[in-house]
């Protein structure tokens, strides 16, 4: 996190990109194989794609393990966003989650085989998931103390007219872990 005077500069960081390895040039793949003392497979062969899958799986496991050490790992958060469907782009009903990893898992809904990107933007996490109908775009916001009090009030019903206010959220400054 950088400071400019009294203002904090927000960091934009890509934390996980499931496309990173599939877009990797073959030369980079060969370098990784040499570093790990793996046999280099021909480009686009079955062995090549198994290695790419292995690299992606290892990165995802590392990301999940690192999230356990995040200071925000168990913070209450809210998911907002829209889903891409063949007939339009409806917004979702906001969803409460206990912890960032639980919220990320909810955004992915078990679709780890889909293309997805997790980025930190302007103090919140953005999860983008591409699928055959379009792209789902979710924002994961940490709840502030005021936000936690508001969502705990019984007057709110999640199925009806629920509109979170900006002051319900606090920003994620710096790094996740």
What does the domain layout of the chain look like in residue ranges? 18-67, 76-170
Instruction: Indicate the DSSP class of residue 91.
Output: B
Judge whether residue 1 has pLDDT over 70. Answer: no
For residue 46, give the 3-state DSSP assignment: helix
For residue 2, give the 3-state DSSP assignment: strand
Confidence of residue 132 (pLDDT cuts 50, 70, 90): confident
Handedness of CA 60, 62, 65, 68 (dihedral sign): negative
Q: Which two tokens stand for residue 71?
A: 């200071």
Radius of gyration (C-alpha) of the chain in whole angstroms: 19
Question: Beta partners for 169?
Answer: 143
Res 126: pLDDT: 95
- Cβ 53 vs Cβ 18: under 8 Å: no
pLDDT tens-digit series, residues 22-51: 788 899 999 999 998 999 999 999 999 999
pTM, entire model: 0.82
Between 72 and 173, the higher pLDDT residue:
72
Q: Of 130-139, 145-154, 164-173, which range is least confident?
A: 145-154
């Amino acid at each position: 996190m950088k400071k400019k005077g009294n203002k904090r500069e927000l960091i934009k960081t890509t934390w996980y990109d499931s496309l990173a390895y599939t877009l990797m040039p073959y030369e980079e793949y060969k370098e990784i194989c040499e570093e790990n003392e793996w046999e280099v497979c021909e480009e686009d062969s079955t062995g090549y794609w198994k290695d790419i899958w292995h690299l992606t799986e290892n990165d995802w496991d590392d990301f999940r393990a690192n999230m356990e050490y995040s200071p925000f790992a168990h913070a209450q958060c809210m998911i907002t966003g829209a889903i891409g469907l063949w007939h339009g782009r409806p917004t979702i009903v906001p969803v409460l989650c206990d912890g960032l990893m639980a919220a990320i898992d909810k955004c992915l809904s078990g679709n780890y085989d889909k293309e997805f990107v997790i980025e930190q933007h302007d103090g919140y996490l953005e999860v983008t998931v591409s699928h055959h109908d379009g792209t789902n775009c979710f924002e994961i916001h940490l709840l502030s103390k005021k936000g936690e009090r508001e969502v705990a009030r019984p007057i709110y019903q999640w199925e009806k007219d629920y509109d979170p206010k900006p002051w319900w959220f606090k920003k994620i400054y710096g790094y996740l872990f």
